[in-house]
Amino acid sequence: MSRRVVNVGIIGGGLMGREVAGAIRRWPTLVDHPVEARLTAVADINPQALSWFADIDTVRGLHEDYRRLLADPEIDVVYIAVRHDLHEQFYIDAIRAGKALLAEKPFGIDLAAARRIVRVIEETPGAFVRCSSEIPFYPGAQWVVEAVRAGAVGRPFSVRAAMLHSSDLDLDKPINWKRQARYNGRAGALNDLGMHALHIPLRLGWEPASVYGLLQDIVPERRGPDGWEPVDTFENAELLARVPATGGEISLRVETKRVSLGDKNTWSLEVQGLEGGVRYSTKNPKSVEFFRRVDLPGVGREQVWQQADTGSVSVWPSVTGPLFEFGFADSILQMWSAFLAEYAGELGDRFGCATPHEALEAHRIIAAALDSHDSGRAVALP
């Protein structure tokens, strides 16, 4: 099979940049993908970060100035993972340079920045841009999507989505950019984690009309290089949204937390409807639960949550056996398989990466949640 070679550049050589590099190195495990991804160049202001990529044989350019990477005519696609306050400038520069872009969430530091990014996309002929959100590519998350689309829950009335971890339980952790509003955005964990929780609800068309938000500033200060510094972002957020829907409203509950006892990057989604339910959590990554009314021998008709194991099959087939387990690195590979398949026009009806519209909608929800928190009342989306 002759495949189109796509040269990829990474801007931001930190944790997620390295994860993406690892996913691209595993590209041959995908079966009959229309694209051959090749990591060609990396940019980061930190020479030590760049040194990690030096031994990758396909990388021929290591740049401390990201604009040199964007000026390379052989680079087709860029992945950008930098501080939130840098998103707007970096993303717009990439779009105007004619590069396809997989952009890290939250897609700008705030709603105004996201709107400016989307405006440039709309003004740039042929621009192809998507937003990174890998957890929905877990097989269990995909089962939830397919169950809802197949009508397994009937008319939904309740949706609960969450992205939880416990990194801020460590009170000795020094302050960093994600705990400072000027770099991360005031919404804190909601800005950083919100797209993960909202990706599937928005994809299924559940766009809120109004939001009530409760945000918590749990750790008000952390040690910095010159002593104690204020933390002016929120660690935890809980949202309750009203979603207009045919036949009646849907209650959408969203949680994003950096202080959630016992959770290590736990993503979950539960959908309840009049004819059934389905739920999944990465805390039990192999299992999806389905709600049914069944006849129990000797008992009668009862309500039951049934469990099924998912295996490894996600959006794009791979050489991994379908009975084997799936992990975080696999979700990144699957996200990239969807991104580049769509870039090549070969995604078909498979689940795709978050769109600029969905990223913008997430920002509208975040902005309403902040306004709600400040005012103490439900707020219509801006």
Q: For the CA atoms of the chain, what is the radius of gyration? A: 21
Crossing angle (nearest 10°) for helices 356-375 and 111-123: 160
Band of pLDDT at residue 61, cut at 50, 70 and 90: very high
Alpha helix locations (H) across 262-355?
Answer: 328-343
Find, among 38, 33, 43, 35, the residue nearest to 10 by Cα.
Answer: 43
DSSP 64: S
Tell me the pLDDT tens digit for each residue of 290-341. 999 999 999 999 999 999 999 999 999 999 989 999 999 999 999 999 999 9
- pLDDT of 180 > 60? The answer is yes
Average pLDDT over the chain reads 96
Band of pLDDT at residue 1, cut at 50, 70 and 90: low
* Average of per-residue pLDDT across 232-252: 96
Band of pLDDT at residue 193, cut at 50, 70 and 90: very high
What pLDDT does 382 receive?
Answer: 85
Which residues have a Cβ under 8 Å from the Cβ of 112 and sit 6 or more positions away?
none
Which residues have a Cβ under 8 Å from the Cβ of 114 and sit 6 or more positions away?
106, 107, 108, 359, 360, 363
What pLDDT does 266 receive?
Answer: 98
Report how far residue 76's alpha carbon sits from residue 87's, in angstroms, rounded to the nearest whole number: 19
Report how far residue 382's alpha carbon sits from residue 367's, in angstroms, rounded to the nearest whole number: 8
What pLDDT does 221 receive?
Answer: 95
* Average of per-residue pLDDT across 142-159: 97
Band of pLDDT at residue 2, cut at 50, 70 and 90: confident
Going from the N-terminus, what domains does the chain have, and what CATH number goes with each? 4-131 (3.40.50.720), 137-321+351-380 (3.30.360.10)
Q: Edge to edge, what strands does the sheet with 300-309 contain?
A: 300-309, 287-296, 276-281, 266-273, 156-164, 250-257, 236-243, 210-216, 379-380
Tell me the pLDDT tens digit for each residue of 88-146. 999 999 999 999 999 999 999 999 999 999 999 999 999 999 999 999 999 999 999 99
